[in-house]
A = this chain, B = another copy of it.
Amino acid sequence: MVNSFMEIPLLDPLAGLPGYALRRAANAMMAELARRLATLDLRISEASVLMLVGERRDVTSSAIGRSLDIQRANMVPLLSRMESAGLIAREPIDRKSQAIVLTDAGKLRLKAADMVTTTFEADLLERIPQEHRPHFLPALHALWD
């Protein structure tokens, strides 16, 4: 053993980088959210679809994808799984487009997902010291758009 302190993670030299910290924080929080949503047999992307469709009408697969930044092609297996699970149904808008709507089971699952995410968001904010808390969402939005 050349260096006996080798195994002690003294100080992460990358921790001071906002971009790196952003990635680590997002990974940690999303892993926690995924764990909680798994109790409802939902992935994060599926819960997002439920919440989005629950508040809108006549939302097509493509429109959902644009909102959530998921490509058209990747919406196909996502919505297929949700349809197989009985959470959503497709209703024709015209001969080209279909509206994604929630089934009764989907609405019920949405209620449960809303409770989980509400608790999750509250827990997340509570971890941030009060003086930093009001600045968090505005800072994120500045990066997002």
Q: Which residue numbers of A lie inside 8 Å of B, CB to CB?
A: 1-3, 6-7, 9, 12-30, 33, 44, 48, 51-52, 55-60, 63, 66-69, 93-94, 97, 99, 117, 120-121, 124-125, 127-129, 131-133, 135-144
Least CB distance, A27 to chain B, in whole angstroms: 7
- Supposing A1-B94, A141-B15 touch, asked if A60 and B6 sit within 8 A by C-beta, the answer is yes
Subset of 13 A-B contacts with CB under 8 Å: A1-B94, A1-B97, A12-B67, A16-B137, A19-B30, A19-B120, A19-B121, A24-B144, A25-B140, A25-B144, A29-B143, A129-B139, A132-B138
User: Which residues of chain B have C-beta atoms less than 8 A from A141's C-beta?
Assistant: 15, 21, 25
CB contacts (< 8 Å) of A128 on chain B: these are: 139, 142-143
Q: So how many copies of this chain end up in the complex?
A: 2
A95 to B27, CA, bound (A): 35
**Alpha-carbon separation in the docked complex, A139 to B133 (Å):** 7
Q: With A132-B142, A135-B139, A139-B133 as known contacts, state yes or no: A24 contacts B69, CB within 8 Å.
A: yes
Q: Is the CB of A121 within 8 A of B14?
A: no
Contact B129–A138 (Cβ < 8 Å): yes
Q: Are A59 and B6 in contact (CB under 8 A)?
A: yes
| 9 additional contacts (CB under 8 A) given A16-B137, A20-B48 | A2-B57, A12-B67, A14-B51, A18-B136, A22-B25, A22-B29, A25-B141, A128-B142, A132-B142
